[in-house]
Structure 1
Amino acid sequence: MDDELYSKLLPLRNLIDELDRKILETLNRRSEIVVEIGKIKHSVNLDDSVIKPERESQIIEKLQRINTGPFQTSAIEHVWKEIISACRDLERSMQVAYLGPKGSFSEQAAFEHFGRSVNNVQCTSFDEVFHAIESGRADVGMVPIENSIEGAVNRSLDLFLNSNLKIIGERSLIIKHCLLTKSGNMNGIKKITAHPQALAQCQEWLNKHYPNLERVSTSSNSEAAHIASKSEDFAAIAGMIAAESWGLRPVYSNIQDDINNRTRFLAIGNIESSPSGNDKTSLILAVPNKACAVYEMLKPFAIHKVSMTRFESRPARTGQWEYYFYVDIIGHQKETNVSRALELIKTQVAFFKNLGSYPAQ
């Protein structure tokens, strides 16, 4: 570097160093206040929960609103999620359950939602995620609920039916599937393994490029990556987070049939989220077997001007062609119009379950 260029850059770099020092001082001061809040809560036996979904959402939303740039507004959530996570950890370490092993999309969703200053509880099934929270082994969890290509994740829907856990947040991930091997090529590969949803999401690509290779279903894409990391015979379909976690190399990237492939995840726990100003509420409903029952079930939403964002049905497994309806609406259950709609719906349905209100992403 020539002297003239160096002389121009040096004062700017010194200024960045000084600003970084001030940022660190501010973060330490913020941490001190968080610790003090924790002491006050502990002294009066206030709610033991270290996560306040509505408060965290409000902090990020406010910062995004007042940002004048050039720091990107889209980056604020990523930065402050980690700041909040690190500060939360000073109050009490939080256990987060998700479908493992390491390198899964569920892990990625959990990190994006809760930050990385958490203790991981890697589970072998969605059932175990729910049980880990219900038994106290984990504070919160993350489960997939729907995919833009394959639709609902039915096992997650079924587990909500018989669980007392609440939805406390949501996270949408763009799913980019890669074909991964130990060598970075397909020499000697005899089988391709992945979660059934991933195999379905890449079905056209696989039919075109590797129609003769056996496809093997596994409990998760990260488990598929684990298998491929130990075998010269297997290729795995998974994300780059799995490749990094298991030492695999991509043969092909973005092999999903739809480039807009997304999966929506739900954060769950034993927490009642207060209104944040931008919320959703999720319900499970069933109707009596009579004419116009579904119309009567939905009518209160129209009366009280409550918008639906999702309507999904699942068999009730009674053998009588009865169904449960999974419904997402805009608004918090404590908002007047939502509250009135829910009270009226209760009089119209045979089954009503509120899965919780939570900040919308």
Structure 2
Amino acid sequence: MTDINNELAKFRDQIDDIDQQLLKLLNQRASLAQSIGHVKAKTDAPVMRPEREAQVLDKLNAANQGPLSAQHINTLFKEIMSACRSLEREVQVAFLGPLGTYSEQAVWAFFGHCVQAEPVETIEEAFRQLHAQQVDFAVVPVENSTEGSVARTLDALVESKAQICGEVQLAIHHQLLCQTGTLKGIRKICAHPQALAQCRNWLQQHAPNIEQEAAASNGAAAQLASQDPTVAAIAGQAARERYGLKAYQEHIQDDAHNTTRFLVLGHQCTGPSGKDKTSIVASVPNQPGAVYKMLEPLNAENVSMTRLESRPARNGRWEYYFFIDLEGHQTEPAVKKALDQLQKSASFLHVLGSYPAAQRG
């Protein structure tokens, strides 16, 4: 045992030495971040540049030889960048609350934990606070791999002057949570309507006789369950921990690959990162071939379209808005030319933003 302890001590001493080196280097990095902050303050430049942070992660992952994975590198350096960024100024972010929602998880995934995260009651309130410049960014859900788009986000984007600065794709693992960890005495299951739909088959099989009720968010449902022993909530691990609930069952989503995409909205235009998306919303005259003419420039310029969805314009004239995601940044020649041509055939065109694509590395 003594030999083993001596061997472990040798490794631990090496780790201690490396930790001291890391501490010194991290403080050097933080000092440089403070200097950058002083330079930015002269021109009121944004504290956070999503394209720059995406490029940093890309370079690190390209140089990484393991054993740390790309996910490890991304997690570690997002927190390092978040801490250094906060020395310039603490970024304020609105998200769909309350605490314990998947939207809150998306905030931490994109910004790291050294930000001031502000929960709001509705998606519309997140947009309002952003427009009023009460916050620097807002994080809102936009689509789910099982249930499709979030209509309230799409409707708000049409009128918004905010720019999409980034995106987060979050794996959704639903749990059925309550105070006791059993269904005995449970009279109602609460969740966001999309969460109820994402667990439809499981609920029909395991809780067919329990009333279901929609909530503003899964976090709000978990908060209610923590206050009422007759209520169970569909929510994630963060809500389970925050509200001290127990799981009757984990992973109750019908689709094992259930994923929700969140948009990060801000006031600034994001520069090219090297691997970008551009999101637009457009409308065309209600006449034969109009949609084809709208999309034809994308084909002509070989610009890949990764998403196309229509949404009623709500003007009573059976007109539609088309939400389109493109590969590439709007400043790239092919994308710029395609958008210029699309502008000629569209009755309405709004570029929602260009931003680094998610799932890098």
Alignment TM-score > 0.5, same fold: yes
2:306 is equivalent to residue 314 of structure 1? no
Give 5+ residue unaligned stretches, structure 1: none
SS across alignment from 1:347: helix
Give matches, 1:126-137, under 5 Å.
Answer: 126-137=123-134
Instruction: Report if the CA contact (8 A) 2:301-2:337 is conserved.
Output: yes
Does 2:250 align with 1:253? yes
Equivalences for residues 94-109 of structure 1 within 5 A? 94-109=91-106
Q: Provide the residue aligned with 1:12 in structure 2.
A: 11
Q: Distance in 2 between matches of 1:247 and 1:74?
A: 28
Tell me how far apart the structure 2 counterparts of residues 107 and 52 of structure 1 sit (CA, whole Å).
20
Q: CA deviation at 1:39?
A: 1.0
Equivalent AA in structure 2 for residue 299 of structure 1: E
Residue of structure 1 in register with 2:29 after alignment: 30
Q: Distance in 1 between matches of 2:40 and 2:230?
A: 55
Q: Which amino acid aligns with 2:289?
A: C
Deviation at 1:90, TM superposition (A): 0.3
1:172-216 Cα offsets, whole Å, 9 max, x none, are: 011000000111112211111011110111111101111111111
Shift of 1:69: 1.2
| SS of match in other structure, 2:212 | strand
AA partner of residue 196 (structure 2): L
1:254-294 CA distances to partner (integer Å, 9 max, x unpaired)? 00111111100010010110000100000001011222110
Partners of 2:136 and 2:39 lie apart in 1 by: 21
**Aligned residue runs from structure 1 range 192-207, under 5 A:** 192-207=189-204
Is 1:45 the counterpart of 2:22 in the alignment?
Answer: no
Q: For 2:329, which of 321, 325, 332 is the aligned residue?
A: 332
What residue is the counterpart of 2:170 in the other structure? Answer: 173
1:306-335 residue CA offsets vs partner (Å, 9 max, x unmatched)? 000000000011222210000000000000
| Structure 1 Cα separation of the partners of residues 70 and 276 of structure 2 | 20
Residue 20 of structure 2 aligns with which residue? Answer: 21
Q: Letter of the aligned partner of 2:238 in structure 1?
A: I
1-structure distance, mates of 2:188, 2:355: 42
RMSD over aligned CA atoms reads 0.8
Q: Please state how far the C-alpha of 1:21 moved relative to its aligned partner.
A: 1.1
Matched, 1:217 2:214: yes
Conserved? CA contact 2:308–2:325, under 8 Å: yes
For 2:117, the equivalent position in structure 1 comes to 120
C-alpha distance in 2 between matches for 1:216 and 1:248: 19
For 1:210 and 1:69, the matched residues in 2 are separated by 45
Mapped partners of 1:41, 1:192: distance in 2: 50
Distance 2:39 2:278 in 1: 31
Partners of 2:70 and 2:39 lie apart in 1 by: 33
8 Å CA contact 2:277–2:354 kept in 1: the answer is yes
* TM-score, normalised by the number of residues in structure 2: 0.98
Please give the alpha-carbon distance, in whole angstroms, between the structure 1 residues aligned to 2:327 and 2:43: 33
Tell me the equivalent position of 1:288: 285
Partners of 1:21 and 1:8 lie apart in 2 by 21
Scaled by the length of structure 1, what TM-score is found? 0.98
The residue type paired with residue 93 of structure 2 is V
The residue that corresponds to 2:71 in the other structure is 74
The CA deviation at 1:357 is 0.3
Q: Report the number of matched residues.
A: 358
- Which stretch shows the higher mean deviation, 314-323 or 346-355? 314-323
Between the two proteins, what is the percent identity of the paired residues? Answer: 46
Structure 1: how far apart are the matches of 2:133 and 2:333?
A: 34
Matches within 5 A, 1:139-158: 139-158=136-155
- Between the aligned partners of 2:62 and 2:306, the Cα distance in structure 1 is 24
How far the C-alpha of 1:46 sits from its partner, in A, is 3.7
CA deviations over 1:203-245 (Å, ceiling 9, x no partner):
1110111111111111000000000001111000000110001
> What SS does structure 1 have at the residue aligned with 2:345?
coil
Partner of residue 181, structure 2: 184
1:73 to partner: Cα distance: 2.1
What is the distance in 2 between the residues matched to 1:205 and 1:354? 40
**Distance in 1 (alpha carbons) for counterparts of 2:319 and 2:37:** 48
Counterparts of 1:322 and 1:125, CA distance in 2: 27
Q: Report the Cα distance in structure 2 between the residues aligned to 1:132 and 1:80, rounded to whole angstroms.
A: 29
1:236 partnered with 2:265? no
For the residue of structure 2 that corresponds to 1:358, the secondary structure is strand
Cα deviation per residue 1:153-179 (whole Å; 9 max; x = unaligned)?
A: 010000000110010001001100000
